[in-house]
Amino acid sequence: MPLAMAMKGESRTVTSLVGAGEMKQHLAEMGFVPGQKVTVVGENPAGIILQVKGVRLALNRSLAQKILVA
């Protein structure tokens, strides 16, 4: 399931990344790598706020759609 579909308060584990090589590299550098736990801290119509490796990040929904989680 895409990370964009996760609800506030849910913790998920990254399974894979979808997209071109540069996009995958950018997401990996932000901490979105397979096996990494991600928690949805908040959301709004434009995007979601996540906690990854103890850091809070904001992603727009189209980018969060490229991160697959279980």
Give the tens place of pLDDT for each residue, 4-43. Answer: 999 999 999 999 999 899 999 999 999 999 999 999 999 9
User: Is the pTM for the entire model greater than 0.85?
Assistant: yes
Binning pLDDT at 50, 70 and 90, where does residue 49 land?
very high
**Tokens for 70?**
């279980």
**Is the pLDDT assigned to residue 67 strictly greater than 90?**
yes
52/32 Cα distance (integer angstroms): 8
Give the pLDDT confidence score for residue 45 in this predicted structure. 86
